[in-house]
Amino acid sequence: MFKAASVLLTLLATVVLRPTLACGQNQSTSAESQAAGTPAQPPDSAKDVLATVNGAPIGEADVRLALSGGGHDREVPPEHRKNVLEVIIRQELIYQRAVELGLDANASYQEKLRRMEAQINAFKRKELSELFWRELAGAATISEAEAKKYFAENATRIRTELHVWQILQRKEGLIEQARNDLEQGASFEEVARRRFPKLPKTDRAPWDLGYLRWNQVPEAWRSVVYDLKKGEVSGVIRGPNNRFWIIQLMDKRENPDITFKSAKASIMEVLKNAKIQELREKTDRDLRAKASIVYSQGPVGASQE
């Protein structure tokens, strides 16, 4: 049995989106196509239009949304779907009349609309950004010759395994305090343990990373850790995403059994990731250099005088 009230609740939640769908859909599609340098094309969903109300399309997606909001996840009888479509048409007529009367200027409505549009814009940015980076990653290829060259130049490091302890902090002030404590004579273990005041007894402490293979060593460490002597402590190492380390090299050993053949897959992966990162950074620089970015009130978070 069709429950109109349930569907109406779903439609009330979606009606605030109708201005961008009914009134601005064609203009938006055309503008986006022109910005991309391609002629505007009818949306693929045009074949799914079930009705138009004074030119505003109501499609299969609208009906599915209403059905899902009413708790209908499975196929429903045609008569039920027809009733849902009629409710949407009725809501569309009311919506259009409300716009004619100027009710779309209502402050509460406009605020809800801004929030919904922000969610849609966030979805588009996120999904297309991820698709873009996946396409870029697919274009980053590494040849066997590149991998062999890397192995020849880094064979010693690739065969070296490092036993490392670390102090990791997310705030620069805390890592500086740790460095000061070490310089004042505190042991590395004592300073590292302070991050874990309620540490249960375990076989290995959380600051003890054990032996790391070359491809497990963070990029930020590589210019430092391989030059440390056994027992030596580094200075503060600054990494991405607000990570700050101090590390101590506990031991170093060589694994002579590692060959190019055994390391090839790891080398290819490391080189590909490095190439992807390089492409990402270059893309970011190029796009920002070509873009016109105007901060109306200064960048978010910038101090205002």
pTM more than 0.75: no
Total domains in the fold of the chain: 2
Q: Residue 30: which region, alpha, beta or left (left: phi > 0; alpha: psi -120 to 50)?
A: alpha
Which of 213, 230, 254 is the endpoint of a domain?
254
Per-residue tens of pLDDT for the chain, all 305 residues: 334 434 333 433 444 445 444 444 444 444 344 444 444 444 445 678 999 999 999 999 999 999 987 555 567 888 999 999 999 999 999 999 999 999 999 999 999 999 999 999 999 999 999 999 999 999 899 999 999 999 999 999 999 999 999 999 999 999 999 999 999 999 999 999 988 888 777 778 999 999 999 999 999 999 999 999 999 999 999 998 899 999 999 999 999 999 999 999 999 999 999 999 999 999 999 999 999 999 987 666 655 54
Domain annotation covers residue 153: no
Cα–Cα distance for residue pair 171/245, rounded to 1 Å: 10
Cα–Cα distance for residue pair 193/178, rounded to 1 Å: 11
Residue 23 and residue 87 share a domain: yes
Residue 244 and residue 171 share a domain: yes
- Alpha carbon of residue 233 to chain centroid: 35
Helix (H) or strand (E) holding 45: none
Which of 90, 105, 120 is the endpoint of a domain?
105
**Neighbour-count burial of 257, counting CB atoms closer than 10 A to its CB (0-12 exposed, 13-18 middle, 19+ buried):** exposed
- The β-bridge partners of 167 are 246
Domain annotation covers residue 274: no
Pick the closest to residue 49 from 17, 19, 85, 16 (CA basis): 85
Residue 29 and residue 92 share a domain: yes
- Cβ contact 268:215 at 8 Å: no
For 156, phi and psi rounded to 5 degrees?
A: -60, -45
Domain annotation covers residue 140: no
Whole domain around residue 211: which residue ranges? 160-254
Domain annotation covers residue 45: yes
* Residue 285 exposure: Cα atoms within 13 Å on the Cβ side: 6
Q: Residue 250: which residues within 8 A CB-CB, separation 6 or more? A: 163, 164, 165, 208, 230, 231
Domain annotation covers residue 42: yes
Neighbours of 301 (CB within 10 A): 5
Helix (H) or strand (E) holding 213: none
Q: What would the two tokens of residue 105 be?
A: 């200027």
Domain annotation covers residue 189: yes
Which CATH number characterizes residue 202's domain? 3.10.50.40
Angle at CA of residue 295, ends 288 and 290, nearest 5°: 20
Cα–Cα distance for residue pair 85/89, rounded to 1 Å: 6
Q: What would the two tokens of residue 179 be?
A: 């460095």
Cα–Cα distance for residue pair 285/100, rounded to 1 Å: 46
Amino acid letter for position 246: I
Pick the closest to residue 16 from 90, 112, 120 (CA basis): 112
Residue 178 and residue 96 share a domain: no
Domain annotation covers residue 278: no
Amino acid letter for position 183: E
Q: What share of the chain is helix, strand, coil (3-state, %, to 5)?
A: 60, 15, 30
Helix (H) or strand (E) holding 21: none
Pick the closest to residue 167 from 241, 89, 233, 100 (CA basis): 233
Q: What would the two tokens of residue 85 be?
A: 């479509």
Cα–Cα distance for residue pair 65/206, rounded to 1 Å: 48
Domain annotation covers residue 273: no
